[in-house]
């Protein structure tokens, strides 16, 4: 049975702070692990634990029996010991609490309720850009529940139970409120910290364990196993009141409040976030059509995703699908729309590059090229393929890097045929193409980007090492069948029957005429990595002046491609 306690005494408060600090200290690593927002740096639990420890130590120093004075001590200790953002917010919660308690020897549920509200208000004020779905939300919801409970309860223990229950529920909901949390399938770390403090404090109020109800609520909260969470969060079929999880982005003249109000009656789990121009909407409803109709009135819709949650549950329950998201229900495509999704739908410009081999493909993709077309010397892409590639780029302005003289004409044809603003930068080879792609910067205007990319590609001198299929004399160089040949800017300058010496001779020629800062070697699919590394070392020793870089290009036919800049 609960104890008849209508007042919180100083000694109760003292034990609450100690118990909370102990509990937080025990669970700090679990909380660190949850840390994904705003930066996954994993120290929220530790920072909060150390901050509360500083508060508890200050309380320990005091001999007072007054709640007001002890709350003051806790506030002071936390203020001096605050670590990290979460610690600062915690110190403000304690500061707000202490302000209301000032001068009070004991506290009633009404005092506590006001103190909790002031704590929450103080914490919100301290944060320049308060974000919902964080520890602020948990504190605020707890304070609101405290206010409600103070109307019907006089017993501080019973009152605190109500606060704890609300905080626990609010924490579970943080998972839906921030995309980063949803993606990781975790609750907010700071919010978990606040709940842990409440639970620790509560455990000291009752001599025995917390009631079953509270423990059950606590178990709903994910700790370290997001996979287990995903399973436990799946609700039984009959409990699904609203069947369709509906998500979309609206761009236009959006009033978030108005949207929220209009959509509210249509379902639950409503989430409307964004700004005046963009709103992200998430709602569980039985009328997805009506949701879309309403949203349509506010602007253009993107990334519409409607999932039947009952169907998902059936499939999950019969283990047909792997469970990989801790989001309560699964979404077929992207789980939660991120800004990247919104950007994707309306990029300003993009790039198509023609390349050879997997290595080059990855290199170009890494530089931000949207579509990489396989082609080059022996398999030039057709105009039609190029047009298709241009159309695939999710942008109105497209830059094309043919990266081969023989592709240039088709690229120019494709540019005329495509229904977009297309600019072809006449890169004669991959070495020039990669320099141009490096200079690509989508925050500039098209004209300026093109100028920069052109100028970057013109600053490159290229070398190529391949072999000859017949005896001949080209560009004044005599070549035997099966000789290795080295080309400078497309003209044969050396030939020999040994790969390494021919490559070195080519590079000597490339470096003799100019002051090089950077030489990049891209080895082809017929060269093994260790051989390429050996060659690089020899070249570095012979030419210590420029910087050397070696990459796997994976191109056929060409043993080495060289870019001198």
Partner 1 sequence: MAGIQIVTDSTADMPKAVAEAYDIKVVPLSVSFGDERYQDGVDLTPEEYYRRLRREPILPRTSQPAPGQFAEVYQEAIANGRQVLSVHISSKLSGTYQAASLAAEMVDKENIKVVDTLSVSMGIGLVALAAAGHDTLSEAQKAAETAKEQLGLFFLVDTLEYMEKNGRIGRAASLVGSLLQIKPVLTFVDGTVDVVEKVRGTRRARRRMLEIFKERVGDTRIDFAVMHADAKEEGMDLLAEVQDLVAYDKSFLGDVGPTMGSHSGPGTLGLVWRPALGSE
Residues within window 406-445 making contact with partner 1, judged by CB under 8 A = 434-435, 438-441, 443
Beta carbon of residue 549, minimum distance to partner 1 (angstroms, whole number):
6
Q: Are 245 and 284 in contact (CB under 8 A)?
A: yes
Q: Which helix (H) or strand (E) holds 549?
A: strand 547-552
Instruction: Quote the crossing angle between the two packed helices 84-101 and 135-150, to the nearest 10°.
Output: 20
Q: Across-strand partners of 401?
A: 353
Beta carbon of residue 523, minimum distance to partner 1 (angstroms, whole number):
13
The smaller minimum CB distance to partner 1, of residues 208 and 443, is found at 443
Beta carbon of residue 125, minimum distance to partner 1 (angstroms, whole number):
9
Beta carbon of residue 413, minimum distance to partner 1 (angstroms, whole number):
30
Beta carbon of residue 440, minimum distance to partner 1 (angstroms, whole number):
8
Verify binding: residue 362, partner 1, rule CB under 8 A. yes
Burial (CB < 10 A; 0-12, 13-18, 19+), residue 449, is: buried
User: What's the rounded Cα separation, in Å, for the pair 395 and 399?
Assistant: 10
Secondary structure in 3-state letters for 378-430:
CCCCCHHHHHHHHHHCCEEEEEEECCCHHHHHHHHHHHHHCCCEEEECCCCCH
Residue from 27, 43, 111, 153 binding partner 1 (CB under 8 A): 43
Verify binding: residue 2, partner 1, rule CB under 8 A. no
The smaller minimum CB distance to partner 1, of residues 43 and 233, is found at 43
Residues within window 189-228 making contact with partner 1, judged by CB under 8 A = none
Helix (H, G, I), strand (E, B) or coil at 438: helix
The smaller minimum CB distance to partner 1, of residues 219 and 517, is found at 517
Nearest to 432 by CA among 516, 366, 489, 372: 489
Q: How many CB atoms lie within 10 A of CB 180?
A: 16
The smaller minimum CB distance to partner 1, of residues 54 and 115, is found at 54
Q: How many CB atoms lie within 10 A of CB 532?
A: 21
Verify binding: residue 38, partner 1, rule CB under 8 A. yes
Binding mask 483-522 for partner 1 (x = CB under 8 A): ----------------------------------xx-x--
The smaller minimum CB distance to partner 1, of residues 311 and 451, is found at 451
Size of the site for partner 1 (CB under 8 A): 41
User: What's the rounded Cα separation, in Å, for the pair 293 and 289?
Assistant: 6
Beta carbon of residue 220, minimum distance to partner 1 (angstroms, whole number):
29
User: What's the rounded Cα separation, in Å, for the pair 223 and 196?
Assistant: 12
User: What's the rounded Cα separation, in Å, for the pair 477 and 494?
Assistant: 7
Beta carbon of residue 186, minimum distance to partner 1 (angstroms, whole number):
16
Q: Are 243 and 308 in contact (CB under 8 A)?
A: yes
The smaller minimum CB distance to partner 1, of residues 392 and 455, is found at 455
Residue from 236, 366, 447, 476 binding partner 1 (CB under 8 A): 366
Q: Per CB under 8 A, which region of 11-19, 32-40, 266-274, 302-310 contacts partner 1?
A: 32-40
Residue carrying structure tokens 């049975």: 1
Q: Per CB under 8 A, which region of 106-114, 182-190, 492-500, 543-551 contacts partner 1?
A: 543-551
Residues within window 112-141 making contact with partner 1, judged by CB under 8 A = 126-128
Beta carbon of residue 366, minimum distance to partner 1 (angstroms, whole number):
4
Beta carbon of residue 252, minimum distance to partner 1 (angstroms, whole number):
25
User: What's the rounded Cα separation, in Å, for the pair 94 and 101?
Assistant: 10
Q: Which helix (H) or strand (E) holds 19?
A: helix 10-34
The smaller minimum CB distance to partner 1, of residues 99 and 204, is found at 99
> Residue 414 corresponds to which tokens in the numbers above?
């494709």
Nearest to 97 by CA among 159, 169, 28, 146: 146
Q: Per CB under 8 A, which region of 78-86, 191-199, 230-238, 492-500 contacts partner 1?
A: 78-86
Nearest to 51 by CA among 223, 194, 160, 170: 194
Residues whose CB falls within 8 Å of the CB of residue 488, separated by 6 or more in sequence, listed in order: 461, 462, 463, 506, 509, 510
Beta carbon of residue 83, minimum distance to partner 1 (angstroms, whole number):
5
Binding mask 80-99 for partner 1 (x = CB under 8 A): xxxxxx-xx--xx-------
Site of interaction with partner 1 (CB under 8 A)? 38-41, 43, 47, 76, 79-85, 87-88, 91-92, 126-128, 359, 362-363, 366-368, 434-435, 438-441, 443, 517-518, 520, 547, 549, 551, 565
């Amino acid at each position: 049975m609960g104890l008849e306690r209508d007042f919180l005494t100083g000694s109760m408060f003292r034990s609450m702070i100690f118990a909370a600090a102990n509990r937080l200290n025990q669970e700090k690593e679990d909380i660190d692990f949850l840390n994904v927002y705003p930066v996954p740096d994993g120290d929220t639990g530790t920072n909060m634990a150390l901050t509360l420890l500083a508060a508890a130590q200050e309380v320990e120093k005091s001999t007072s029996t007054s709640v007001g004075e002890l709350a003051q001590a806790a506030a002071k200790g936390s203020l001096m010991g605050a670590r990290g953002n979460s610690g600062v917010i915690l110190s403000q919660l304690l500061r707000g609490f202490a302000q209301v308690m000032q001068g009070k020897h004991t506290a009633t549920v009404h005092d506590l309720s006001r103190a909790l509200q002031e704590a929450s208000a103080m914490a919100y004020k301290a944060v320049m850009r308060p974000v919902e779905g964080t520890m602020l939300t948990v504190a605020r919801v707890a304070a609101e529940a405290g206010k409600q409970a103070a109307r019907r309860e006089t017993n501080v223990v019973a009152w605190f139970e109500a606060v704890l229950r609300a905080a626990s529920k609010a924490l579970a909901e943080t998972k839906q409120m921030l995309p980063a949390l949803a993606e990781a399938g975790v609750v907010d770390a700071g919010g978990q910290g606040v709940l842990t403090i409440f639970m620790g404090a509560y455990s000291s109020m009752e001599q025995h364990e917390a009631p079953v109800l509270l423990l059950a609520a606590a178990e709903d909260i994910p700790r370290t196993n997001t996979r287990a969470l995903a399973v436990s969060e799946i609700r039984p079929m009959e409990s699904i009141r609203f069947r369709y999880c509906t998500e979309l982005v609206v761009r236009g003249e959006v009033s978030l409040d108005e949207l929220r109000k209009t959509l509210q009656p249509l379902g639950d789990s409503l989430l409307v976030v964004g700004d005046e121009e963009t709103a992200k909407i998430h709602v569980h409803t039985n009328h997805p059509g009506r949701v879309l109709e309403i949203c349509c009135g506010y602007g253009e819709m993107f990334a519409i995703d409607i999932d039947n949650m009952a169907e998902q549950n059936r499939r999950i329950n019969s283990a047909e699908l792997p469970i990989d998201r801790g989001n309560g229900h699964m979404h077929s495509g992207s789980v939660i729309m991120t800004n990247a999704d919104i950007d994707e739908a309306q990029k300003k410009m993009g790039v198509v590059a023609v390349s050879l081999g997997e290595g080059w493909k990855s290199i170009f993709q890494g530089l931000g090229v949207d579509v990489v077309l396989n082609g080059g010397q022996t398999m030039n892409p057709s105009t039609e393929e190029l047009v298709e590639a241009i159309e695939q780029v999710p942008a109105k302005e497209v830059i094309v890097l043919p990266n081969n003289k023989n592709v240039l004409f088709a690229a120019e044809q494709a540019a005329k045929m495509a229904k977009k603003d297309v600019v072809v930068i006449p890169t004669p080879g991959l070495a020039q193409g990669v320099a141009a792609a490096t200079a690509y910067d989508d925050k500039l205007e098209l004209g300026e980007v093109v100028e920069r990319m052109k100028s970057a590609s013109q600053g490159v001198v290229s070398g190529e090492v391949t072999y000859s299929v017949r005896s001949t004399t080209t560009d004044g160089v005599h070549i035997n069948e099966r000789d290795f040949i080295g080309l400078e800017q497309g003209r044969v300058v050396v030939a020999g029957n040994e790969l390494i010496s021919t490559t070195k001779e080519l590079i000597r020629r490339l470096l003799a005429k100019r002051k090089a800062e950077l030489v990049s070697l891209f080895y082809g699919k017929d060269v093994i990595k260790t051989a390429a590394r050996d060659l690089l070392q020899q070249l570095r020793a012979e030419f210590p002046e420029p910087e050397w870089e070696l990459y796997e290009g994976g191109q056929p036919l060409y043993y080495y491609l060289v870019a001198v800049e």
